[in-house]
């Protein structure tokens, strides 16, 4: 009887510890990424110089996926990003912009994401788009103007369709609409600092 009580107490303590750890990680995820001291905001409508690394896309808009392989938040949205590429890949030019202090090859990044799309390693693109955390999305229209820069979703695993911000922006741009009104959570950066993941 005493042994059974000890087992129950131990299991209760173990499950409580797991619950507290999960709650803490979820709470930490919902904190916005600190804005860097030298940050310069880049408003929508700003012309973005994509540089020589990103090839001309003709009449397609460009979707920049700012990604750090060490960032847990970047890993959380992997399947969501894959679904965006599958759904919109014929209409939009997708490019992965790696923001990491570790060295990777384009093939390694493509393997990690399970996608054969262009990969660039140019942190200055993030600065030009006003990005300072991962994962972030930036959508550049056919005139090379910033249409949307922000989060993929309010949910860490990108499962909330109502808050699928990057998808909402894609749909709006492809229908030649003004950027839909989005909540502050869409535009405030959440995730890992770049290039060193601190979350």
8 and 83 co-located in one domain: no
Cα separation values, 94 from 61, 106, 158, 170, 190, Å? 9, 14, 18, 12, 21
Give residues with Cβ within 8 angstroms of 143, minimum separation 6: 47
User: Which helix (H) or strand (E) covers residue 66, if one does?
Assistant: strand 62-67
- pLDDT level of residue 166 (50, 70, 90 thresholds): very high
More confident residue, 93 or 25: 93
- Report the pLDDT value the prediction gives residue 171, as an integer from 0 to 100: 95
Domain residues for the domain of 82 are 62-193
Q: Flag whether 52 is in a domain.
A: no
Q: Flag whether 111 is in a domain.
A: yes
- Report the pLDDT value the prediction gives residue 192, as an integer from 0 to 100: 86
Residue 88, Cα to own-chain centre: how many angstroms? 17
- Report the pLDDT value the prediction gives residue 199, as an integer from 0 to 100: 54
Is the predicted pLDDT of residue 155 greater than 80, yes or no? no
Q: Flag whether 47 is in a domain.
A: no
- Report the pLDDT value the prediction gives residue 198, as an integer from 0 to 100: 66
Q: Flag whether 12 is in a domain.
A: yes
Of the candidate ranges 47-56, 102-111, 173-182, the one whose mean pLDDT is the lowest: 47-56
- pLDDT level of residue 10 (50, 70, 90 thresholds): confident
Q: What are phi and psi of 26, to 5 degrees?
A: -65, -40
10 and 72 co-located in one domain: no
How many domains is the chain partitioned into structurally? 2
Q: Flag whether 14 is in a domain.
A: yes
Work out the average pLDDT over 135-142. Answer: 95
Cα separation values, 168 from 148, 163, 191, Å? 10, 8, 20
Is the predicted pLDDT of residue 4 greater than 80, yes or no? no
Give residues with Cβ within 8 angstroms of 116, minimum separation 6: 110
| Tens digit of each residue's pLDDT (9 = 90 or more) over 45-86 | 999 998 877 866 678 999 999 999 998 888 889 999 999 999
- Report the pLDDT value the prediction gives residue 162, as an integer from 0 to 100: 87
Query: What SS3 class is residue 183?
Result: coil
93 and 142 co-located in one domain: yes
CATH number of the domain at 140, please. Answer: 3.40.30.10
CA distance 150 to 162: 15
Task: Please report, rounded to a whole number, the percentage of residues in the chain having pLDDT higher than 90.
Answer: 54
81 and 175 co-located in one domain: yes
78 and 16 co-located in one domain: no
Is the predicted pLDDT of residue 121 greater than 60, yes or no? yes
Q: Flag whether 49 is in a domain.
A: no
| Mean pLDDT, all residues of the chain | 86
6 and 83 co-located in one domain: no
79 and 166 co-located in one domain: yes
Is the predicted pLDDT of residue 29 greater than 70, yes or no? no
106 and 160 co-located in one domain: yes
6 and 87 co-located in one domain: no
CA distance 14 to 73: 26
16 and 67 co-located in one domain: no
Q: Flag whether 136 is in a domain.
A: yes
Task: Please report, rounded to a whole number, the percentage of residues in the chain having pLDDT higher than 70.
Answer: 88
Q: Flag whether 40 is in a domain.
A: no
CA distance 185 to 144: 25
85 and 24 co-located in one domain: no
12 and 68 co-located in one domain: no
């Amino acid at each position: 009887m005493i042994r059974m009580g000890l087992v129950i107490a131990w299991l209760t303590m173990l499950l409580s510890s797991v619950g507290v750890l999960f709650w803490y990680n979820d709470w930490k995820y919902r904190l916005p990424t600190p804005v860097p001291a030298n940050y310069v905001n880049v408003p929508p409508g700003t012309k973005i110089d994509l540089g020589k690394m990103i090839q001309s896309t003709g009449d397609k808009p460009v979707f920049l996926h700012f990604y750090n392989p060490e960032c847990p938040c970047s890993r959380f949205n992997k399947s969501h990003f894959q679904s965006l590429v599958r759904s919109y890949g014929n209409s939009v030019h997708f490019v992965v912009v790696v923001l990491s202090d570790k060295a990777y090859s384009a093939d390694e990044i493509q393997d990690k994401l399970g996608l054969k799309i262009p990969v660039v390693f140019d942190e200055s693109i993030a600065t030009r788009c006003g990005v300072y955390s991962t994962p972030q999305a930036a959508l550049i229209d056919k005139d090379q103007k910033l249409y949307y820069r922000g989060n993929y979703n309010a949910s860490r695993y990108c499962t909330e369709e109502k808050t699928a911000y990057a998808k909402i922006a894609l749909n709006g741009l492809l229908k030649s609409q003004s950027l839909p009104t989005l909540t502050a959570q869409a535009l405030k950066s959440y995730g890992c600092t770049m290039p060193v993941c601190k979350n």
